[in-house]
Amino acid sequence: MRTRSRAVVPALLTSLIVLSACAGVGSGAAGPTADPAGGTAGSTPTTTPATTPATTTPAVASETDPATGGPAFRADTEPDTGTASADARVTVRDIRVETLDGFDRVVLEAAGEGAPGWDVRYVDEASAPGSGAAVEVAGDAVLQVQVTGAGYPYDTGVEEYFAPGPLTAEDAGAVTGVVFAATYEGVTTAFVGTEERRPFRVYLEEPARVVVEVLHAG
């Protein structure tokens, strides 16, 4: 009995293995075969996405005038302001007018503590700070230039600018004259006469120069 049982069991196992193999071939469940192209037969081909070109950020136009190092000319005649430093206490000690290629430059040089600010705008009439008295300025338009963060000479130890009359530049193309008014309540005021309301720009140069540049007529 034990001898027959040992013979029957291996025979049954062999039969089951053969039947299972045949069933797998008939049903198409065989494992994937190699594809000569390098893939796998019967598998879903893998698609490599096309490389997307890198996006190029357009160059931003420079806001600096390469000729002067100052900001680019504004396209209008709107007021231009800059904030003085918290410790500013300066006195305007000199004013200069220059004629350059395409514009006239007015420089208000100051000295003292901190960095001055400014408020520059066209006004209908020039009037003295405090008193409101009319100030005569040559030209068809008046550009009021106010330096903020200003102090009186006895506070800063700097002698304030003085001129007996208007300051002019030879062959100026826009500025007809500069008149110094006064320092009053922390603001020093001057008036720039121009032939008409021309576009202008304002910036600060080191150590403490407020620069106003008025564009010539096109």
DSSP for 82-110? EPPPTT-EEEEEEEEEEEETTEEEEEEEE
What per-residue confidence (pLDDT) applies to 9? 41
What per-residue confidence (pLDDT) applies to 218? 76
Question: Please, what are the averages of pLDDT over each run of 10 residues along the chain (218 residues)?
Answer: 39 41 44 46 47 36 58 79 97 96 96 97 96 95 98 97 91 94 97 96 93 92
Domains and CATH numbers, the chain: 80-215 (2.60.40.3500)
Q: 167: which DSSP letter?
A: B
Give SS3 for 158.
coil
Give SS3 for 199.
coil
What per-residue confidence (pLDDT) applies to 118? 98
Pair 123, 188: CB distance under 8 Å: no
